[in-house]
Structure formats: C-alpha cells, structure tokens
Amino acid sequence: MSPRSEFEHEPVMAGPTLDALEDMPAGVFVDATLGGAGHTTAVLDRRSDVHVHGFDQDPEAIAVATERLAAYGDRARVHYARFDDAATVLADHGVDQICGFLMDLGVSSPQLDWADRGFSYQHDGPLDMRMDTEHHRSAADVVNNYSVDEIIDVLRSYGDERNAVRIAKAIDANRPIATTGELATIITEAVPAAVRRQPGHAAKKSFQAIRIEVNDELAILGPALDALISLLGPGGIGLVLTYHSGEDRIVKNCMRTAVEADDLPGMPSRSDYEWLFRGARTPSADEVERNSRSKSARLRGIRRKVAA
Ligand SMILES: C[S@@+](CC[C@H](N)C(=O)[O-])C[C@H]1O[C@@H](n2cnc3c(N)ncnc32)[C@H](O)[C@@H]1O
C-alpha cells in the first residue's frame, strides 16, 4: 500500500514523553503504536544509542511510518502486527530484552478524520471503524448483528453511555445501518433533548464504545502491557498514554501489580519494578489549546530497577 500524503498526526505530550525517557539505557525501544511515527522519530533523533521496533495494526499507518523511518536505516524496524503479538515478533528478531517502550493508545487523527475509515460521527462514511482493515469484524457487523442486550453492554462498558437502552432500541428499530452518518443521526434522535443541548456530539460516547468493541481494544491491553513490562531490562522504562478512563484503569492496575509484586506490609519493596513517577501526567494548557485531541491524555510510567 502506498502512503496517503496527507497523513497528519501531532504526537501527544511529545516533550514530557522524551523527558520521561531521559535516563533510559541504550538498547531496543518498542513503539507499540507507531501511527505516523511522530514519537519514534523524536526518540531516534534524541537517542543515537537506541534502535526502535515499531508496531501498528493499521496498514495505512504502516505505509506512512515505513516511508518516514526509511532515513534511519536499520535503526528502525516496522512491523504490521497487533501489539499483543509484539513479544513473539521481537523473539523472531532475536530480541528478548528491551530498554523501553511506549504505548500511545487509541486512534490517530487520520483514522478519525478520513471519512472512508468509518470512525467519524462528523464525516459520513461506511460504518467500518477497523484499525486493521484485514480484521474480520467491522462496526456494521456490531451494529447490525449484535442483540439489543449486547449493544447495551458495549455502550455501557466502553462508553459509560447513560442512554444505552434508548440508543440500542433505536439502532434495532432502524437496522440495517450502513453509514456513520445514519448511525450518528439515529443516536442523536434517540437521546433526550436535554442531552442534545449539552456541549459535545450526542453520538461521541457510542462511537467510542463501538470502536473499542470492533478493535478489541480493552480486552488485549492488559496482557499486552504485562508482556512488554516483563521484557524491560535493568533500568528500562515503560510509558503509556491513555485517552479514557477504561484504558487508564487497566494501565494503572497492570503497573501497580508489577510495582507491588511480592511486597509484604511494612517491609521494603521486593519488586523488580518501581513507579517512574507517581500518578499520571497530563498535557499543558498550551498543548490542549494547540491540539484539542490531547485534552484527555494521561501519561503513566514504570521502570525496572537497575539492581533488582
Ligand atoms: C494515537 S495513534 C499513535 C500515534 C503515534 N504515537 C505518532 O506519534 O504518530 C495510535 C496508533 O496505534 C495503533 N493501534 C491501536 N491499537 C493497536 C494494537 N492493538 N496493536 C497495534 N497497533 C495499534 C492505531 O492503529 C494507531 O495508528
């Protein structure tokens, strides 16, 4: 696939991400969510002692990242794979230890903005939402084939949607639904008028929930993060950028489990891992002003102790 020239994605919290990697040792760095390779090029430019293995499940991202990283030669390897396969792919390339990783979760700007990718409630397109366009299940499959109860569950679990029952019944009454525009209209008409008057699009939470279901986003996150944490070598740093509370909860719990492993109450930590910094870092007001998509970002970090 040749890359579309207009692939534009501003890397979120690029400065704080690079700062957090300041003390990372040399070695192999994993970018689990390459996108347009914005974070990866920043890491490669800052750290000449680092090689990157980058992963993405979106063929369009792979095409653009491959082109943008060509100038770095064998310092950058690009893999068309889901990040829960990263450990296997790395092992195939003889890598069993890494100096750091970044997961920048969620969707890229082109995925949201290009109508033909079918993620957008603002631009009409086919009801698709697959990051991996070879993936078997699209948003149309979820919307048209799931039972009403299954749709309610998706909307509540992944979108915290209070009007899940009304929306699911409206979807059921209007099936089959073919486009994002049709779905956005059905949802907007299903919610109470008071919700329609609130700021933000009435379909935003439902679209997020369906996208998460289509791409198995939350189901694979915990195991994939655990696997990357276990690959960190001494002093290695793991960073994750999340964009909604469901993702952030999983990331916090995985990291806490690693940091508190084997601890006994009142005794010094026996874990191999420590928090890189406490809590989550958030973007500056300037960044949110410049790039509204950074607004909900939360950065968390973990480090493997040097002398474990
Ligand atoms: C927010 S964008 C990353 C942007 C990137 N950091 C940059 O600076 O250009 C998230 C990317 O992760 C990819 N992605 C999401 N879930 C994935 C998964 N499970 N495995 C591999 N890639 C995934 C998406 O296709 C998307 O390209």
> What confidence score (pLDDT) does residue 1 get?
74
Q: Percent of the chain, pLDDT > 90?
A: 86
> What confidence score (pLDDT) does residue 5 get?
65
Q: Which atom of ligand 1 is nearest to the CA of 31?
A: 6
> What confidence score (pLDDT) does residue 199 get?
86
* Two structure tokens written together for 201: 């699009």
> What confidence score (pLDDT) does residue 170 get?
98
Q: Percent of the chain, pLDDT > 70?
A: 99
Using only C-alpha atoms, what is the Rg of the chain?
Answer: 20
Question: Which residue has the least CA distance to atom 8 on ligand 1?
Answer: 38
> What confidence score (pLDDT) does residue 23 get?
96
Ligand 1 centre from 264 Cα, in Å?
A: 37
Residues 124 and 127: their CA atoms lie apart, in Å, by 9
Tell me if 191 sits within 8 A of 211, measured CB to CB: no
Domain 14-110+217-304 has CATH 3.30.300.30: no
Domain 136-214 has CATH 1.10.150.170: yes
Asked if pLDDT for residue 46 goes beyond 80, the answer is yes
Ligand 1, CB within 6 Å, residue ranges: 9, 11, 33, 35-39, 55-58, 61, 82-83, 104, 106-108, 131, 220
Closest CA to 10 of 287, 302, 301, 299: 287
Strands 273-275 and 98-104: unpaired
Ligand 1 centre from 80 Cα, in Å?
A: 11
* pLDDT tens-digit map of 125-138: 999 999 998 877 99
* pLDDT tens-digit map of 290-299: 999 999 999 9
Residues 69 and 158: their CA atoms lie apart, in Å, by 34
ipTM for the complex shown: 0.99
> What confidence score (pLDDT) does residue 140 get?
97
Ligand 1 centre from 13 Cα, in Å?
A: 15
Q: Which atom of ligand 1 is nearest to the CA of 9?
A: 9
Domain ranges for the chain: 14-110+217-304, 136-214
Judge if the upstream peptide bond of residue 176 is cis by omega within 30 degrees of 0. Answer: yes
